[in-house]
Structure 1
Amino acid sequence: MNICTYLSIQSLYWERGRTYIKLIEELFDKGRTLYVDNCYKSVALAKTMIQRKTHLVGTIYANRRNNPANVINTKLRKGDLIALQSENKTVVLEWKDKSDVFMLSTKFDMSTTTY
C-alpha cells in the first residue's frame, strides 16, 4: 500500500492531483479506474489520467477551473440532468436532486438508463 500525507498548506489543486498520480503510479497503463471524492479532482487531472490509460470517476466541485460553464451554470429542476462530453471522452455532468450534484468521468459516456 502506498501512503502519501498532505504536507503543505500552500499546495495548489494541481499539486494535490499529483498526489493521486504518485500514489497510483504502478497501476497506470493497465486500464484501471480510480474512484475519488471531490477534493482533488479536475479536468486537468482527467486529461493526465487518460494519457496514462487510466480512468477517473467521481464528484467534483462546480467552481473548479476548466469546468464547462454551460454545464456548471445551467439551473436545473429536481430530476434534470445536463452533461457535456469532450473530444477526449471526459464527461462533466450536473444532476439535480435535493441539491446540485456535479460529476466527472473518463470511463462512462453520456448515455442514460432509467430504472
Structure 2
Amino acid sequence: MLLYPGKNFQDTSQELGEKIVMELCDKYLDVGRKVITDNYYTGVLLAIQLLDRGTHLLGTLRKNRKGLPVEVTIAKLIKREVVGKESKTGFVVGKRMDKRQVHMFRIDKT
C-alpha cells in the first residue's frame, strides 16, 4: 500500500501515475515480470521506464495519451473489429470495438 502524502509526493520528472507504479513495483523490477495496469496508469513513458528495468507493461489505455499512433486512435470500427499498430520502438497499440471502444497497450523488447 502507498499512501498519498499530497503535492510533495509528485516531482517534476514523473507524472503521478508513473511515480505510483514505479514505487509500488520497485521490489519486483529487474527480474522479467509483467505489470498490468488500467487506463489511468498506462502510458508510453511508464512503459519505457519499466522496460529499462527489465519489466514489461500491458494494459488498457486512454486514447488521448501522448505518443500514440493517430491511425489507431481515430479509426472507426464496427462491433468485434480490431485495429493495431506496432511502433519502431517496440510498443503495440490496439483498439477493439465491442459495446464501446477499448484501447490496449503492450511493450516488449524487440
| 2:105 corresponding residue in structure 1 | 104
Q: Distance in 2 between matches of 1:58 and 1:18?
A: 17
TM-score (structure 2 length as normaliser)? 0.84
Aligned residues: 106
TM-score (structure 1 length as normaliser)? 0.80
How far is 1:9 from its partner?
A: 6.9
How far is 1:93 from its partner?
A: 0.4
- Whether 1:28 and 2:29 are equivalent positions in the alignment is yes
10-19 or 70-79, which moves further after superposition?
Answer: 10-19
**Within 5 A, what are the aligned runs for 1:19-98?**
19-98=20-99
CA RMSD of aligned residues (A): 2.2
Structure 1 stretches of 4+ with a deviation exceeding 6 A read none
Unpaired runs of at least 5, structure 2: none
SS at structure 2 position matched to 1:38: coil
The one-character-per-residue Cα deviations of 1:39-61 (angstroms, maximum 9, x if unpaired) are 11111111111111101111011
